Amino acid sequence: MKAEIDIISTDRAPRAIGPYSQAVSSGGVMYLSGQVALDPASGELIGTTAEEQASQALKNLGAVLAEAGSGFDRVVKTTVYLTDMNDFAAVNSVYARAFGDSRPARATVQVAGLPKGARVEIDAIALLN
């Protein structure tokens, strides 16, 4: 028996810039593709600092979560990708505000580069309501 997979898409987050979906869900779990700090309307990168970019990336994730009727309180795992690990503390402050009392499991990794020259990318796994 093949599992049902639903594609989740919203205009309130940037369109995928490759052959992937903003998110998919199956079995009550949503898998969100990585979000960088793209403006949903223009597709242009917003912000120059890691803090500004993390804020927009999290807004984008929030829009995709909301489209599926979920939210930051339902996120069980994230991965934060940084082009410079020196940005860790700045990103943490934005991340903590977005998640509030929720504390999903998380990995943070430094990468050589991200799409559109972004400094931060964040993906997530969340439960559906």
Q: Over range 72-95, report the average pLDDT.
A: 98
Q: Using 50, 70 and 90 to split pLDDT, how confident is the model at 69?
A: very high
- Cβ of 77: how many Cβ atoms within 10 Å? 13
In-domain check, residue 26: yes
In-domain check, residue 19: yes
What would the pLDDT profile of 14-67 be if each residue is shown by its tens digit? 999 899 999 999 999 999 999 999 999 999 999 999 999 999 999 999 999 999
Locate the DSSP E strands across the chain: 6-8, 23-26, 29-35, 75-82, 105-110, 120-127
In-domain check, residue 40: yes
Alpha-carbon distance of 77 to 16, in angstroms, equals 21
In-domain check, residue 52: yes
- Dihedral over Cα of 32, 129, 66, 9: its sign: positive
Residue pair 51/94 in contact by the 8 Å Cβ criterion:
yes
Name the residue range of residue 12's domain: 6-127
How many domains does the chain fold into? 1
Q: What is the per-residue DSSP string for 53-85?
A: HHHHHHHHHHHHHHHTT--GGGEEEEEEEES-G
Q: Residue 69 is part of a domain; what is its CATH number?
A: 3.30.1330.40
In-domain check, residue 82: yes
In-domain check, residue 1: no
Q: Is residue 88 over pLDDT 90? A: yes
In-domain check, residue 92: yes
